[in-house]
Amino acid sequence: MKRLILPVLLSGLVIGIAAPGVSDDMGEIARAGQWQLSALRLPEAWRLSKGAGVVVAVLDTGVNGRHPDLADAVVQGPDLTGAARSPALWGQHGTAMASLIAGRGHGDGNRRGVVGVAPAAEVLSVRVTLDNGDPLRDKRRPGGAEALAKGIRYAADHGADVISMSLGGGSGAWEGSAPEEEAVQYAIAKGAVLVASSGNDGDSANRKNFPAAYPGVIAVGAVDRRLRVAAFSNRQDYVSVVAPGTEIVTADGSDSYMVGDGTSSAAAMVAGIAALIRAVHPRLSPYHVRLAIEQGTRRRPADGYSRAYGHGVANALLALRAADRLDLPASVPPMPGAYFGEGPLATIPASRAPVVAGMLMLMAVMAARVITTHRRRRRDVT
């Protein structure tokens, strides 16, 4: 028997309250509430790709693969939190995000329940944090301090094409951490596309949120049904795109649903779009996948970019079309600094500057050799 989760507004975010004893018709109600399906033009995008063959690592609170909408979609990875498992509060947020990425629905023709952006993709669940409200959050052992960094590396080493991180604060610091940044660059070098939520305190502190702010991560903000940026969505210069993030229906627990607001949901959907692209263009670099998502947007700001909208509202169909244009045999690799945001190379974090400087020096030496060789050949001819 399904349980309906009724929304309650609290401090600008929506949480769920269980109403047990509701019939399976709630699966149909859940599907009807997925307004993002049309906003992202998913029915049209699914004619081109459903994410088959792509592995999306969900670095979160764990994913409950027993939910009917996630049947046969989840592979369980390690628990890196260093905390005991609380049966009553385990995997709620992670299950919700996984359903938005790769939910299959259920029932006749899978017409009930939540369907994700990439319903044919596979989810690799890696537990790196605990659910809000879990009393064990305040009793975490030191071993879980770098769980996110370890989780990113684990996902990259175990075949993740896309890594979805609908979380913030990293190891507890709003400044980020060197191990996490190094893990991000490691995963990108392995070919993984990293996506994270921009943060949910845009209407208050508007803090820089990690892992979204790490160079190379696709940071995602949230919009409402009218495609306006939600008040809570962080406005920062690292925001890449925005996506639906209010009144979002998700799976919850093992047999229920909930409705919620947040940039977490928006990021999960963009991770799904990345999976759609990777299924069709498996050799497209992380940089070009990001570029396709940014070029394939609606409601683009007048000057091309803004701290609120990023490059615009994500759109699955337009992103796939942009990927078609970018996936050319003679595709030019990204220049050094391509993963370091919109600004000039002078804005590169100090920890990455030596690497970029070395790459630029190498390019200069190679260019000089080409010119010298060209001149020698000209002398030989004459």
Residue 21 buriedness (CB in 10 A; 0-12 / 13-18 / 19+): exposed
Question: In the chain, which residues have pLDDT < 70?
Answer: 1-24, 87, 138-145, 169-173, 330-382
pLDDT of residue 155: 98
SS3 state of residue 259: strand
CATH topology of domain 4-343: Rossmann fold (3.40.50)
For residue range 304-326, list pLDDT tens digits in order: 999 999 999 999 999 999 999 99
Catalytic residue flag (residue 125):
no
CA distance 269 to 342: 23
pLDDT of residue 373: 38
Domain boundaries, the chain: 4-343, 352-382
Q: Please list, in sequence order, all residues whose beta carbon lies within 8 angstroms of the beta carbon of residue 166, skipping any fewer than 6 positions away.
A: 60, 93, 97, 196, 197, 262, 263, 264, 265, 267, 268
Catalytic residue among 233, 264, 265, 285: 264
Q: Which of 2, 18, 11, 1 is nearest to 259 (CA)?
A: 18
Catalytic residue flag (residue 25):
no
pLDDT of residue 345: 31
pLDDT of residue 15: 37
Catalytic residue among 67, 93, 281, 288: 93
Catalytic residue among 60, 69, 134, 252: 60
Q: Which of 100, 105, 123, 79 is nearest to 197 (CA)?
A: 100
Buried-exposed string 64-93: b where 16+ CB fall within 10 A, e elsewhere? bbebbbbeebbeebebbbebeeeeebbbbb
Answering whether pTM is above 0.85, one says no
Catalytic residue flag (residue 93):
yes
CB 27 within 8 A of CB 107: yes
